[in-house]
Amino acid sequence: MASLKSEFLGIKSPNPFWLASAPPTDKKYTVARAFEAGWGGVVWKTIGEQIKNVSSRYAAIDYGGRKVMGLNNIELISDRPLSLNLKEIAEVVKEWPDRAVVVSLMARTERESWHELVRMAQDTGCHGLELNFGCPHGMTERGMGAVVGQDPEIAKMVVEWVMEVAQIPVITKLTPNVLSVVPPARAAVQGGSNGLSLINTIQSVMGVDLKTLVPYPNVGGKSTYGGYCGPAVKPIALKMLASLKQDPIVKGIPISGIGGISTWKDAVEFILLGAANVQICTAVMKYGFRIINDLCDGLSNWMDDKGFRSIGEFIGLSVDKLTDWEQLDLNFHIVAKIDQEKCVHCGICYIACEDAAHQAIRLAKGTPYNRYEVIEEECVGCNLCHLICPIEECIVMEEKNRGSYINWLEYQKRGLPLNDH
């Protein structure tokens, strides 16, 4: 059987599933409950200077009958006393010696402030530190969070300060609120960070209450920009993860993947694109700690089916399959095929193709049902009909290669015509 044991920067845990720094990790009570349920590790909710949070704090987007496809929060770092957090962290480390306990930190952009916070956190016996360079709201106005992560020079300087006193592994958590995540990642690595984690939340406005005209969430008739997370951000997180794993300076640095992970399949995708482990928050806020059972069972079964014995055997296996558009094969061609036995005659594919694609589906009116057929010579293989069809495997895309591999650069070099219709 596959082993789910994980090691990240020398920090060992029974599985690669950690709880991200967030409300589920802000106190001993919830962390202990998570470990009892089977979670491999936690990143303790960010500690630092004393703050006060507001009410309300969350807003969500529902889609297609599914609740909380995206979650927005305007919550700040831990509002519990620093001394209480440190005391409980030390107790958890002692009581759960086989689990990973990493502490998220945020301090003012001052060397002594970071030194003091790092030393206090280390004294708890925790296994690692995560530097919060990503919080997009509230703390930024105080010169912390995403303000640090958006400026490579400041990020590098702060990491260097931390590494002057750090005696345990340091992970730098990056903000997605940048043009490119590569420069701040490089800066953190050059500053000495042992590892990286990403993504933090994306700055957002969730919507507006059409009754009160106040954006969500409503705090006494006002709102503010918040941090967006949940399943809807996964594609953005995967892109940023992959871009780091393709960068020559950063690709060798261990990365903890974060962003919209809800299922074991999501976790596998992150690991295939280079994450050494994953962190989860929103899914737990929606379903509770019990999802760890499905996460572990699903990952274990998939690894058994694929013949992988350990997590390390498939970290990053899909990174090299991402390339520049100019390198894609222009002779590769697929066309849609409709299985008439499975078709329920809804016509969704025809409407989509006729109105928004390439008019490659023919409508044959009939009694009692209309029939829909692909006009193969007009089909460009865009996938739209396949994606919107409500019946699984009713519309499949079949490969129709037209010739040997050739990319756009070769087409230009040879002066070949690009439009063969």
Q: Which two tokens stand for residue 228?
A: 């967006």
Marked catalytic residue, from 126, 135, 385, 389: 135
Residue 180 to residue 33: CA distance in whole angstroms: 37
Question: Nearest 5°: phi and psi at 182?
Answer: -65, -50
Cβ contact 201:227 at 8 Å: yes
29 exposure class (CB count in 10 Å sphere: 0-12, 13-18, 19+): exposed
Q: What gap in Å lies between CA 262 and CA 231, rounded to an integer?
A: 7
Residue matched to tokens 């498939």: 314
Specify whether 389 is catalytic: no
CA distances (Å), origin 232, targets 67, 157, 192, 261, 283: 12, 33, 32, 10, 12
Cβ atoms of residues 71 and 60 within 8 Å: yes
136, 203 contact by CB (below 8 A):
yes
19 is written with which tokens?
A: 């709880």
111-131 burial: b if 16+ Cβ within 10 Å, else e: bebbbebbebbbebebbbbbb
Q: Which residues does the annotation mark as catalytic?
A: 135
